[in-house]
Structure 1
Amino acid sequence: MTTTQDPVTAAEQCTADFRRNPHPVYASLRDTAPVCPMKPPHGIDTYLITRYEDARAALSDPRLSKDMYGAMDAYRRIFGDSSVSLDDNMLNSDGPKHLRLRKLVNSEFTPRRVEALRPKIQAVVDELLDACPTREPVDLLPAFAFPVPITVICELLGVPPEERPHLQDLSTIVAQTGFGKEFKQAQQKAEEDLHAYFTQLIARKREHPGEDLLSALAQAQGKDGGLTENELVSTAFLLMFAGHKTTAYLIGNAVYHFLANPAQLRAVQGDPELMNPAIEELVRFDGSVESATFRFATEDVEIGGTRIPKGALVQISLLSANRDPLKFDSPDEFDVTRPGNAQSAHLGFGQGSHYCLGAPLARLEMQLALTSLFGRFPNLVLAGPAAEAKWMETPFPAFRGLAELPVVLDPGR
């Protein structure tokens, strides 16, 4: 068993070169230090896991807790008390509490409810594409990739259309990562505003319930084992937050890689049955969730021959695990016909009890968005060289996504 390796600093994960192409660094770590200590700016000992089998095991290991605020005073000090009120949900809980919260949400967030959104998603997609200029460059992130999921998740929750822009602005602030005083103050204010907003919205849903998910959860509150008030507020925030940026960046990444690999796009255009396996390949190849949310060791844990000491944080790189050559043949190739492009092969939506509850909705949004985009504009192209694409820079590798996606929908050729 090993206990130390040369540590990786968080800064090394946040350089422009790394953000543009992190895969060579992850490949090196998989070979030389698959469970590697890190030195992040928040000061808590952290271990980075990069191999597929280690990542899969860690995602399901009950000794790696998700109850960050309940068990770690240091984590509370770093991220502030205001975020605690928004993190009282199934993502940040373990054991019986997690099972109770997930079961309650799952009972309402059904495949039937998701499938019922298909006409609405298609209408949103069509409306956004109608509004895009076709012969001049357009940035598909703000014009298409971001509006699709935020509109859909707000529709699912029952957020009135006129209130959605403000909600999106607040969630954008909360989604950013940083450690400066001014940043933390702005984030704390946004968290407080989000808590107040969802509290008020839930109160309205109780008085005037609709057919939306939030109304259903609010009506079930009084039942045995139902959500507490703060759990309901926090769950509403989780669904909105998790159902927005992850899918938006995933749509952007997908469009980029299809256009950077035109043979793969032609294969899907020639055989629509390939779209669903292509989506799984896209999630594997360059998914939007680079690292799973933090876990921490409740006791000493050995993973991949390395001892992770009790109290240490664990960062699991889904992006690296999904490029592990010990699991996938030629993992750095984007191949929509890859054998075994099944939902269970990659770790892009997690693994175990915390597997992404919204994965079916994300897949449906991807299917409709990509099919419509490439069906209506079969000749669309990137507005610049693929190698010069600008990727989002962040002080923590949580999301993997483009900073912009300029394309020409109909170059007229």
Structure 2
Amino acid sequence: MMSVIELGEYGADFTANPYPYYAKLREAGPVHEVRMPDGFQFWLVVGHEEGRAALADPRLAKSPSVIGVRPPEEDIIGVHLLAADAPDHTRLRRLVTGEFTGRRVEGLRPRIQQLTTELADAMEPAGRADLVDAFAYPLPIIVICELLGVPAEDRDTFRRWSNQLVTPTGDQEFGQAMVDFAAYLDALIEDKRAAGPTDDLLSALITARAEDGDRLSGPELRAMAYLLLIAGHETTVNLIANTVRNLLTHPEQLAALRADPDLLDGTIEESLRYDGPVETGTFRFTREAVTIGGREIAAGQYVLVGIGALDRDPARFPDPDRFDIRRDTRGHLAFGHGIHYCLGAPLARLEGRIALRTLLDRFPDLELDPEGEPWEWLPGLLMRGVRHLPVRW
């Protein structure tokens, strides 16, 4: 019988660079029972083939109700796509997919370019900046807030809530941010109902109807807005910052990209694979006893798919610890797999490409700032990135 892995014993090195630890775990097997420092236990999948299958396995539910758990945030926010299973998930996704179209996303291109240019204009005179605060954070937050119809004056408040919800500093702070955010979204939705239809996405979701007349309820609207706002910007912040960090720490790859701009799309995809913004998926729950990677997992267990570990599996990607923007990255799982595949993947890719292209064009000598503060890595297993990225030019 294999012993439980104590993740707390890995220390701060695991937060800064988890990949060697995932590799060591993978050598011993694709699935492990692990324990957090607070005593919480779950199953962690680190093999690509096993993880890809788990992401699409209906025996692994996303709603904790299948194991008799009702998280307190469900009463506050409601049930969103990431915590729903078919047929509820199918219904919710159908109602939002009709409004979150490729045409709507592509229509954002001129505005994204305008915003990116304005941010670069504001950065340029100083010769140095924190790339997260000055560029990688404001771009996606403005884009998703404008897309949904969130007033500009509320963005800073929203950022504080979002930070607490994705990388919480404590249970009390997490709970208060959830309550405040839910109340804000309820008020915003009522304001939009009263104002009548406009061209933003939240207004479209309020009026959206399926062919059978189905529409989103008030709590469902709140939960959908919550998910789109949080997932629509936190991940893209780290996609942009991580990609720049990966290039600046691999100067030969940066030189290759500058020499051949056609490598831009490949750079974004390789960064997603090599050091993407989502380190693990959100929890899944076993409806029944399942066997994954030769390990028998009983019903009612928590399962976490290690996205970052999967995309460094040498069985799928040769020499996986090498950052190579010419690599064939097909099959990476940075946006998930199966019915929960990221709805916002086209928008994230569009923002990442425009942001990176603009930075390379405007700052030909962009480099890490040697006088900047040491990197502070985001805590927890969900998000992968640094709070600040000092650069100069």
Which of 236, 241, 245 is the aligned partner of 1:247? 236
Is 1:218–2:202 an aligned residue pair?
no
Give the alignment partner of residue 388 of structure 2, picking from 404, 408, 411.
404
Pair 1:71 & 2:66 matched: yes
- Report what 1:162 is aligned to: 153
Segments of 5+ residues of structure 1 without an aligned counterpart are none
Partner of 1:203: 190
Structure 1 position 392 matched with structure 2 position 377: yes
CA distance in 2, matches of 1:375, 1:75: 50
From 143, 149, 162, the counterpart of 1:152: 143
Task: Give how far 1:269 is off.
Answer: 1.6
- Which of 306, 318, 324 aligns to 2:295? It is 306
In structure 1, C-alpha distance between the alignment counterparts of 2:346 and 2:105, rounded to whole Å: 7
Shift of 1:389: 5.2
Relative distance call for 1:363 and 1:393 in structure 2 (3 A) is closer
Aligned to 1:359: 345
Report what 1:93 is aligned to. Answer: 84
| 2:44 alignment partner, SS class | strand
More deviation, 280-289/270-279: 270-279
Report the CA distance between 1:123 and its aligned residue: 1.3
Superposed, which structure 2 residues align to 1:234-313 within 5 Å?
234-313=223-302
Matches of 2:376 and 2:280, distance apart in 1: 16
CA deviations over 1:200-238 (Å, ceiling 9, x no partner): 111121222210110000012697221111011000000
Alignment map for 1:5-20 (pairs within 5 Å): 5-12=2-9, 15-20=11-16
Amino acid of the structure 1 residue aligned with 2:222: V
Q: Is the alpha carbon distance of 1:326 and 1:218 closer, same or farther for their aligned partners in structure 2, counting shifts above 3 Å?
A: same
Residue 141 of structure 1 corresponds to which residue in structure 2? 132
CA RMSD of aligned residues (A): 1.9
Once the two structures are aligned, what percentage of the paired residues are identical? Answer: 44
| 1:117 is the counterpart of 2:108 | yes
Taking structure 1 as reference, are residues 121 and 136 closer, same or farther at Cα in structure 2, changes over 3 Å only? same
Of the structure 1 ranges 52-61 and 207-216, higher mean CA displacement relative to structure 2 is found in: 207-216
1:56 and 2:52 correspond: yes
- 3-state SS of paired residue (1:292): coil
Amino acid paired to 2:5: V
1:193 aligns with 2:185: no
Structure 1 residues 351 and 392 mapped into 2: Cα distance closer, same or farther (>3 Å)? same
The aligned residue for residue 34 of structure 1 is 30
Matched, 1:372 2:358: yes
Offset of residue 256 of structure 1: 0.6
SS at match of 1:46: strand
Q: Does 1:108 align with 2:99?
A: yes
- The one-letter amino acid of 2:361's match is G
Provide the residue aligned with 1:320 in structure 2: 309
Q: Find the residue that maps to 1:95 and give its secondary structure.
A: coil
C-alpha distance in 2 between matches for 1:153 and 1:44? 34
Specify the alignment match of 1:346 in structure 2.
Answer: 332
SS at match of 1:314: strand
Give, in angstroms, the shift of residue 177 of structure 1. 3.5
Tell me the secondary structure at the aligned position of residue 327 of structure 1.
coil
1:43-83 CA-partner distances (Å, limit 9, x unpaired): 55410100100100100000000002x2344562xxxx235
Measured at CA, do residues 285 and 136 of structure 1 come closer, stay the same or move farther in structure 2, by a change above 3 Å? Answer: same
The count of corresponding residues between Structure 1 and Structure 2 is: 391
Change (3 A) 1:96 1:333: same
